[in-house]
């Protein structure tokens, strides 16, 4: 056994099981939601990354894993390939809405575009530990979050349950060169009576073809002026979509009515702040991303920067700006931020949106941030969402990995090697069992170690009273 080193970071957790059901915030089933839970006193970013990749997620210092084969509304971990992401039509609509507000000062009328909201520790949140006073845990969890909040902000979500939600726009604004070509839907005017088309006139051409040709001509003229003798761009090259960053920059015009700024701060969480030579400049850990409008804070996003991803945790905003779809806007900003960090740390290339809940229609919006994958609940392999959706249409619970021989690569093989923390000493569970003859917690420790896997079980310290 080893004494705890003062200069070494450990993950220390207390496990609370998960046998009892509680109220579901999605389908309102009184006892249909089941999850396993742990209280995290401290946690390294690598341990949390490994846990997230096994279906765990944190809410404050409470870390929980839904029991997907038992719970009424299965919650599947979803990640977006940030480097390959292209904004959809509805995403562009959100950015245009922000741009119009910033440039002209006009707030959209009515409410937001249908972004679903969850309260922090209410129905849709994680299950609380069964062997701890519920009210005490709830107060602690709320206090952990509320001490981070400016007084002017209202908490609206736990797991960034914000939807894109905007209906497809029937019309698009005039496109800039290099943008994705989109058709405008119009009604054709009835032809006037006459002798038919004049055979001496050239045939009519679609407006979008004319615009494409003019762009190509301008590009050829520009290259000629620059002395570029290379071949003119092909049609395929002219169709390259604009990157997300260009759309975001266009939504923040110069000389506008309002000034929207962003600031980033470390925030309190169980994750230990860490720096690595090959990591991002800001380091790893939990951060506030604050949205300031004309010197006034209007929204805050909490994110975890982990070794291979940016994980969205919470998002809350001032209710006066609900019509701006700030939830969707913040997701786009966080994807762009992930792309920025990847330039500093090549392994960091994913954006985790929390859980995808196919059985709840209003929570399917996360599947619109593509390309994306869902985590197989049995093998913990990532599978493209397009392959998963047909299975989820047939069954709420599904094994996504189609390889029948595939299994959990980190399956528990020896619970005796799981580490425990007992009286400030670190020891394998086998040594603890010998020391504590007659201990009756083997079933609980076995369940915990199965859920975190062999690798994490040998690295995370399970607190024993």
- Which pLDDT belongs to residue 172? 29
Residues ≥6 apart with Cβ < 8 Å to 444: 15, 17
Q: In the predicted model, is pLDDT for residue 378 greater than 50? A: yes
Q: Angle at the Cα of 410 (from 404 to 414), degrees rounded to 5?
A: 115
Choice between 302 and 145, residue whose per-residue pLDDT is larger: 302
Q: Which of 44-58, 126-140, 321-335, 373-387 has the lowest mean pLDDT?
A: 126-140
Choice between 209 and 99, residue whose per-residue pLDDT is larger: 99
- Which pLDDT belongs to residue 130? 43
**In the chain, pLDDT over 70 holds for what percent of residues?**
71
- Which pLDDT belongs to residue 33? 95
Segment 131-138 mean pLDDT: 39
Using pLDDT thresholds of 50, 70 and 90, give the confidence band for residue 112.
low
Average model confidence (pLDDT) across the chain: 80
Q: Which residue has the tokens 């405008």?
A: 184
Using pLDDT thresholds of 50, 70 and 90, give the confidence band for residue 252.
confident
Using pLDDT thresholds of 50, 70 and 90, give the confidence band for residue 164.
very low
Q: Which long-range contacts (CB under 8 A, 24 or more apart) does 275-283 make?
A: 276/345, 278/345, 279/307, 279/344, 279/345, 279/348, 280/305, 280/341, 280/344, 280/345, 280/348, 281/344, 282/341
- Which pLDDT belongs to residue 370? 97
Choice between 229 and 138, residue whose per-residue pLDDT is larger: 229
Which stretches within 160-302 are classed as H helix? 207-225, 235-238, 244-250
Which of 98, 24, 87 is CA-nearest to residue 359?
Answer: 24
- Which pLDDT belongs to residue 140? 43
Show me where the domains of the chain are located: 2-47+54-70+407-463, 82-166+242-359+361-375+377-394
Using pLDDT thresholds of 50, 70 and 90, give the confidence band for residue 436.
confident
- Which pLDDT belongs to residue 182? 27
3-state secondary structure of 266: strand
Using pLDDT thresholds of 50, 70 and 90, give the confidence band for residue 233.
low
Q: Are 463 and 425 in contact (CB under 8 A)?
A: no
Q: Which residue has the tokens 């995403």?
A: 91
Using pLDDT thresholds of 50, 70 and 90, give the confidence band for residue 425.
very high
- Which pLDDT belongs to residue 265? 76
- Which pLDDT belongs to residue 185? 30
Query: How would you class 29 by CB atoms within 10 Å of its CB: exposed for 0-12, middle for 13-18, buried for 19 or more?
Result: middle
- Which pLDDT belongs to residue 238? 55
Reported pTM: 0.76
Q: Which of 156-165, 230-239, 260-269, 343-352 has the lowest mean pLDDT?
A: 156-165
- Which pLDDT belongs to residue 3? 57
Using pLDDT thresholds of 50, 70 and 90, give the confidence band for residue 161.
very low
Q: Angle at the Cα of 421 (from 416 to 426), degrees rounded to 5?
A: 75
Q: What is the DSSP letter of 271?
A: B
Range from 121-125, 172-176, 321-325 that averages highest in pLDDT = 321-325
Choice between 437 and 444, residue whose per-residue pLDDT is larger: 444
Choice between 274 and 6, residue whose per-residue pLDDT is larger: 274
């Amino acid at each position: 056994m080893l004494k705890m080193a003062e200069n070494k970071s450990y993950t220390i957790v207390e496990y609370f099981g998960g046998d009892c059901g509680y109220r579901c915030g999605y389908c309102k089933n009184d006892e249909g939601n089941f999850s396993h839970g742990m209280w995290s006193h401290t946690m390294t970013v690598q341990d949390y990354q490994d846990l997230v990749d096994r279906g765990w997620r944190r809410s404050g210092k409470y870390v929980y894993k839904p029991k997907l084969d038992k719970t009424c509304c299965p919650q599947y971990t979803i990640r977006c390939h940030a480097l390959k992401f292209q904004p959809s039509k509805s995403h562009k609509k959100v950015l245009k809405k922000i741009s119009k507000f910033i440039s002209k000062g006009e707030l959209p009328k009515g409410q937001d575009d249908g972004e679903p909201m969850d309260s922090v520790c209410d129905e849709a949140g994680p299950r609380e530990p069964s062997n701890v006073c519920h009210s005490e845990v709830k107060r602690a969890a709320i206090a952990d979050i509320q001490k981070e909040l400016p007084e002017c902000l209202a908490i609206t979500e736990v797991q960034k349950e914000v939807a894109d939600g905007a209906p497809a726009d029937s019309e698009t604004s005039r496109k800039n060169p290099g943008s994705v070509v989109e058709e405008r839907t119009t009604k054709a005017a009835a032809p006037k009576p006459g002798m038919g088309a004049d055979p001496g006139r050239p045939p009519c051409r679609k407006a979008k073809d004319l615009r494409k040709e003019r762009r190509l001509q301008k590009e050829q003229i520009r290259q000629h002026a620059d002395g570029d003798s290379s071949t003119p761009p092909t049609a395929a090259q002219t169709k390259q979509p604009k990157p997300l960053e260009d759309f975001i920059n266009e939504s923040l015009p110069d000389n506008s009515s309002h000034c929207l700024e962003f600031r980033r701060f470390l925030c309190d969480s169980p994750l230990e702040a860490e720096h690595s030579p090959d990591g991002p400049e800001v380091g790893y850990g939990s951060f506030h991303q604050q949205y300031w409008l004309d010197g006034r804070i209007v929204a805050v996003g909490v994110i975890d920067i982990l070794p291979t991803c940016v994980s969205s945790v919470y998002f809350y905003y001032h209710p006066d700006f609900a019509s701006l779809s700030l939830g969707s806007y913040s997701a786009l900003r966080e994807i762009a931020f992930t792309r920025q960090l990847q330039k500093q740390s090549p392994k960091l290339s994913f954006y985790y949106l929390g859980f995808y809940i196919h059985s709840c229609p209003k929570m399917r919006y996360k599947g619109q941030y593509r390309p994306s994958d869902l985590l197989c609940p049995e093998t913990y392999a990532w599978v493209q969402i397009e392959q998963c959706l047909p299975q989820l249409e047939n069954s709420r619970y599904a094994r996504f990995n189609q390889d029948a021989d595939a299994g959990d690569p980190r399956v528990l093989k020896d619970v005796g090697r799981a580490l425990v923390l007992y009286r400030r000493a670190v020891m394998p569970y086998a040594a603890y069992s010998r020391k504590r003859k007659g201990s009756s917690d083997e079933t609980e420790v076995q369940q915990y170690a199965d859920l975190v896997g062999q690798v994490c079980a040998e690295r995370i310290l399970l607190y024993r009273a």
